[in-house]
Amino acid sequence: MKNDTKHFQVGIIMGSKSDLDIMRVAAEVLSEFNVSHEVRIISAHRTPDAMTDYAASAQERGLKLIIAGAGGSAHLPGMTASHTPLPVIAVPIKRPGRAPAALYSSIEMPPGIPLAVVPENGAHHAALLAIEILSLQDSGLAKQYSAYRAGLKKAVLQDDAQAQTKGWQSLLKEE
């Protein structure tokens, strides 16, 4: 969401444009909830000074948290967390045929620098976690998120009711 007149609440960063196919989902979810955000490509290895500057200035610029996605050795989320007091949510990016190195890199952070980690390719989860965190200080967002969760519950109950009345096979025909 590009908006030059107000501060962004969430920073979405990734190591390269090849991560955008996964990380765009976080931006889309935040947009659905009208949460202001910026999307940046910042590499821990190729642009370490830019990464440090971004993380160190994030709070001053008005960000409330950062979602960081990276594949391979995935140093971006952890290194970002080491340069900011803001919560950082790691999205380990997993590609077919590749080892889960990004996940291991994120979950094996040393003590003292916390890093929230969602499932591999879990940009959707990361955005929802960001919304949960922001909802602690925003009652309007909290109501919107509560309605979203109620919608999830309703959908499951409707599917169960259909399975009970029309048989589970009827659910497969809808796909």
In the structure encoding, which two tokens stand for residue 107, read together?
Answer: 């979950």
pLDDT of residue 175: 65
Q: What are the φ and ψ backbone dihedral angles of 57, each rounded to 5 degrees?
A: -95, -5
pLDDT beyond 90 at 99: no
Q: What are the φ and ψ backbone dihedral angles of 28, each rounded to 5 degrees?
A: -65, -45
How far apart CA 120 and CA 13 sit, in angstroms, is 16
pLDDT beyond 90 at 72: no
The pLDDT tens digits of the residues spanning 117-169 come to 999 999 999 999 999 999 999 999 999 999 999 999 999 999 999 999 999 99
Residue of 26, 4, 79 whose CA lies nearest to 48: 79
How far apart CA 113 and CA 91 sit, in angstroms, is 16
| Sole residue written with tokens 């950062």 | 66
8 Å CB contact between 77 and 55:
no
Average pLDDT of span 49-61: 97
Query: Taking the alpha carbons of 53, 26, 1, 143 in that order, is the dihedral positive or negative?
Result: negative
Amino acid identity for residue 120 in this structure: E
pTM (two decimals)? 0.92
Tell me which DSSP letter residue 69 carries.
E
pLDDT of residue 5: 43
